[in-house]
Amino acid sequence: MGVWDWKVIEKQSSAALAKKADDQNASRRLAQAIGMQGNVNQAMQLLERHAAQFPKDMKALDMLAAFQIIAGRNEDALATCDKALKTDANARYVRYNRAIACVKTGKAEEGIRDLGIAIESNAEFREIAAEDPDFAGLAGNPRFKTAIAPPKKEG
């Protein structure tokens, strides 16, 4: 099986949930597999149910926000990210999807600030954001350029 064989992951997750209905990881993986196969609406429904059952699963809330962005539900994505951060302020990786939602709802400066926080938590977000078409409209923004610029080497 390839790492990203979503049909296989869907079957495995469904089987795991049939054995143990409260398997948090299987529940999240099932929603992800369904969404990655193109059924974003069903994935969002599963993740909303998952979030009700596992309210402290920040990975699931972050994934829900990502699918909401894909579906064009940017205000919902922003609210989902805010809910995640209210539950766990240390879930700084959520700031990446919050940054996208902010940019898509006309809050560019707030989005750039969130992107900076996401990059502080994981430097890989710098390169991802530089290539992310969701940030293309900010290409000329000096603060965005600074946020995605490689760190200066000392010495």
Q: So where are the chain's domains? A: 1-54, 75-155
Check pLDDT > 70 for residue 3: no
pLDDT digits (tens, 9 = 90+) for 48-85: 999 999 999 999 999 999 999 999 999 999 999 999 99
Check pLDDT > 60 for residue 155: no
Please say whether the beta carbons of 72 and 81 come within 8 A.
Answer: no
Kind plus residue range of the DSSP H or E element containing 60? helix 58-70
Please say whether the beta carbons of 81 and 101 come within 8 A.
Answer: yes
Q: pTM score > 0.85 for this model?
A: yes
**Average pLDDT value for the chain:** 94
